[in-house]
Structure 1
Amino acid sequence: MIRVGVVGASGWAAVSHLPALAGLDGYEVTAVATTNATSAGKAAAQYGARLAFDDAGALAAHPDVDLVVVSVKAPGHAAVIRAALEAGKHVVSEWPLTVDPAEADELARTAAEAGVVHAVNLQGRHSPDALFVRDLVAAGRIGRLESAVLVAAGDPLGGAVIPEGMEWSTDPAGGTTVLTIMAGHFLATLERMTGPLVEVSARLPRRYDEVAVGDTGRTVANRVPSQVLIHGTLAGGATASVTVHGGSGSPDGFLVKLVGSEGTLTAAPTRPGVHLHWTDWDIRVAGERVEVPASYRTVPFDPAGGPVANIAALYQDLARAIREGRAAESDFHTAARLHRLLGAVERAALSGGAEEVS
């Protein structure tokens, strides 16, 4: 049994990590931490945890915690991760790993030196649909891959309105923008299918100097992009084009189009209003629907139910990695590499030229 301590047990964790852990065998949530003792006690009672903390370091150090889940705002990730590593605990961090690419590299090195299993929640990399498409491409179902196109909605980030309570996302220092969160997740999912981008050119338009805060009548200054436009080259020589458009409501979906020398594969959502790393897909080869084999769907969650299914798949892989003494499929090195990709996108947008992805 892997005993889990969740830091930041309210908000996002309550609708993602905690339901995923509760539905899997082999995990037990033994501890939670929030910003104060009162809310920590309430969270512990709600999720059946024996221990409640208002200090992440104390949670990480407790002997009844084997795995620390970091689900606080991005600027706070690094401190909690370091506390977990210093205590010799396995650790799962929300994406982004941190707010600085150099620090991401440092955290990956530190985690490797600690000898623990570490993972970042890039749940699209564990999507059964993405894995099936990866295998179709690798098996030559569409011939040699020649181009990849991804168009996706980045709501609720990047639009003219930001939900109340997310005002901090209009500051790049918050680490939560249409580039870092939405494009980060989408690029991780695309690369899982196509292989890595090795060179990029980009534009990061910022259409709004101010954005409205819900229906409060207030506005706040905006310093982050509204859209992400990327052209690039994949490791195998194929081209890639990615557009992530911001919005203020429910996302209107996504389209993946992979063109090969012998055919075309497309993927779109089976229902509107969901992101590609949160749902099952309508996959078609040469226009004909292709069903994902049941063997790819390994968790006890409906893929139509939102992000929990793919997060549970990440935890399945993590448990196997701990048992087998191997690295997790989406470890801190994976996250650090994605941070470097986003850094190359930002440099390309500033320079107007192409940038290599180290």
Structure 2
Amino acid sequence: MSGQQRLGVGVIGAHAWAEQAHLPGYRAYERAELVALCDTVPERAQHLAQMFGVRKVYTDAAELINDPEVQMVDVCTPTDTHLPLSLAAIAAGKHVISEKPLAHDAQDAFEAARLAQAAGVRTKLGFTFRYSPAVRQIKRWIDDGTLGEIFHVHGLEQNSQFLDPSYPLRQVPAGADWNALIPSSIVGYGSHLLDLVRWCAGEYKSVIGSLHNYVPERLVRGYEGMQRIMVEDGTAALAEFVSGAQGILQTSYIAVGNYPGVELRVYGSRGAAVARLVEEGGVAETLHFATPDQVEFRKIDLPSTAYPPGTTLHTPWPELYYRNLIRYWVDEILDELPGECTFYDGAKSQQTVNALVQSHRERRWIDLPPEREASVP
């Protein structure tokens, strides 16, 4: 297709993440056209529409989805709305990207992937950290054999976003029992991490995890005063992969440190690599590499071509990574390229989240289903 073709984009949700990541990503890419923005608070939608040059504003998501100029729908809304809005977009024949998690139950996410395939539309999950230049370099080293046979993959996603109990907790699942442990960091943070590690090590075979509540009382958005709530704010886990590799994983939003708090460590027979995605000193990420004959890790500086045009390591990480995600996603659609990080991948991540929750409750290893449960374009 012509490089001049542009993809009509409609974004649902005008909150902070849309402002920091999604909308800057579309505005910066010449092959995307911001056609419409929708939010239930019209003033919020109008404000961001003016800021980012969005032509149309809606307060009803169905109207945006059915707009004939909107070819792709971006669901950037609270968790419980991801699945119904994504299904509505699929039913309307629109390509759709959703923030994670797509669904609380992996089977619902697998079904969404199947429906998208049947409708002939493309999907993507907003797993932002796949689009870190450092992480993508590690993936290239895995694929081209630079790291050799992969033995160990360690993944961390932890920062202190909710360490302060007076900072309001968001998106408690509807109908959750506040007297029982409510999975939280493993869902919001862990879904990213589980996807990254699977991308590097292959399919999960078995997992075992420990979930914990460390801050028992905190403010909760929508409620007055401090609330006693058994929300899981830290998880540690082990994983075995079909390939034979081993994994160590940890998620937390009460571990002291800066955003986004991601570290990916991959150890193979020919080399090892560490990507540290922690914004410090105005730098978004660092990458280190070692080999059996040079075991001291050395810093790797990537070429400017590894970054989206107009960005550097000093670009704030939400914009840096999402601008990369957007250009890959738009090109996949317009140039009919193979899909990456689809709803199927989101379903596989949620399947592992669900297995870790089950593992904690039953205090045992959980085997993951061995067969592929869905296919997507």
**Structure-2-length-normalised TM-score:** 0.84
- AA of the residue aligned to 1:258: V
The 8 Å contact of residues 44 and 50 in structure 1, kept in 2 or not, is answered as yes
1:337 alignment partner in structure 2: 348
* 8 Å Cα contact 1:144-1:261 kept in structure 2: yes
Q: Among residues 345, 353, 356, which one is paired with 2:364 in the alignment?
A: 353
1:208 matches 2:215 = yes
Unaligned runs of 5+ residues in structure 2 are 1-5, 370-377
State the alpha-carbon separation in 2 of the partners of residues 145 and 248 from structure 1: 28
Q: Say which of 114, 121, 133 aligns to 2:119.
A: 114
Residues 293-317 of structure 1: per-residue CA shift (max 9 Å, x gap): 4443344323441112221222212
Give the secondary structure class of the aligned counterpart of 1:15: helix
Deviates more, 1:32-41 or 1:348-357: 32-41
Give the distance between the partners of 1:107 and 1:241, measured in 2 at CA: 30
> Are residues 105 and 352 of structure 1, via their aligned partners in 2, closer, same or farther at CA, if it must alter by over 3 Å?
same
Secondary structure at the aligned position of 2:161 is classed as: strand
Identity %: 21
CA distance in 2, matches of 1:35, 1:341: 33
CA distance in 2, matches of 1:219, 1:126: 37
Q: Which has the higher helix share?
A: 1
Is the contact between residue 273 and residue 287 of structure 2 (CA under 8 Å) also seen in structure 1?
no
Q: Which runs of 4+ in 1 moved over 6 A?
A: none
What secondary structure is seen at the aligned counterpart in 1 of 2:80?
Answer: helix
Residue in 1 that maps onto 2:374: none
What is the letter of the counterpart of residue 342 of structure 2? D
**What displacement does 1:138 show?**
3.5
Residue of structure 1 aligned with 2:48, choices 39, 43, 48: 43
Given the superposition, is the C-alpha separation of residues 170 and 211 from structure 1 closer, same or farther in structure 2, using an over 3 Å criterion? farther
User: Paired residue for 1:245, among 239, 244, 252?
Assistant: 252
Paired with 1:270 and 1:79, the residues of 2 have a C-alpha distance of: 33
Cα distance in 2 for partners of 1:24, 1:31 equals 16
Question: d(CA) in 1 for partners of 2:224 and 2:79?
Answer: 27
- Asked whether the 8 Å contact 1:202–1:349 carries over to 2, the reply is yes
What CA deviation, in whole Å up to 9, does each residue of 1:276-297 have, x standing for no partner?
A: xx94223231312223344433
Residue of structure 2 in register with 1:284 after alignment = 289
Q: Deviations along 1:44-70, whole A, 9 cap, x unmatched?
A: 333322211110001110112111111
Specify whether residues 50 and 139 from structure 1 end up closer, same or farther in structure 2 by C-alpha distance, changes over 3 A only: closer
Q: Distance in 2 between matches of 1:217 and 1:40?
A: 27
Moved more, 263-272 or 198-207: 263-272
**254 and 75 in structure 1: CA distance in 2 versus 1, 3 angstrom threshold:** closer
Distance 2:358 2:252 in 1: 19
The answer for the alignment partner of 1:257 in structure 2 is 265
- How has the CA–CA distance of structure 1 residues 36 and 295 changed in structure 2, closer, same or farther, with 3 Å as cutoff? closer
Indicate the SS of the match to 2:8: strand
Correspondence list, 1:30-69, <5 A: 30-69=35-74
Partner residue of 1:9? 14
Is the contact between residue 74 and residue 176 of structure 1 (CA under 8 Å) also seen in structure 2? no
Alignment correspondent of 2:198 = 191
With 130-139 and 278-287 compared, the bigger mean Cα shift is at: 278-287
Structure 2: distance between partners of 1:115 and 1:173: 35
Residue 322 of structure 1, aligned match among 303, 308, 333: 333
Moved more, 264-273 or 236-245: 264-273
Query: 1 CA distance for matches of 2:285 and 2:155?
Result: 16
For the Cα contact (< 8 Å) 1:124–1:188, is it kept in 2? no
User: Are 2:260 and 1:231 aligned?
Assistant: no
SS in 1 for 2:30: coil
101-110 or 241-250, larger mean C-alpha shift: 241-250
Aligned residue number for residue 165 of structure 2: 161
Q: TM-score, normalised by structure 1?
A: 0.88
For 1:266, which of 250, 263, 274 is the aligned residue?
Answer: 274
Q: Which residue of 1 aligns with 2:152?
A: 147
Equivalent residue, structure 2, for 1:306: 317
- Supply the distance in 1 between the matched residues of 2:85 and 2:353 (Cα, whole angstroms): 23
- State how far apart, in whole Å, the 1-side matches of 2:202 and 2:284 are: 21
Q: 1:135 to 1:208 in 2, by over 3 A?
A: same
Unaligned ranges ≥5, structure 1 = none
For residue 78 of structure 1, what is the aligned residue in structure 2?
83
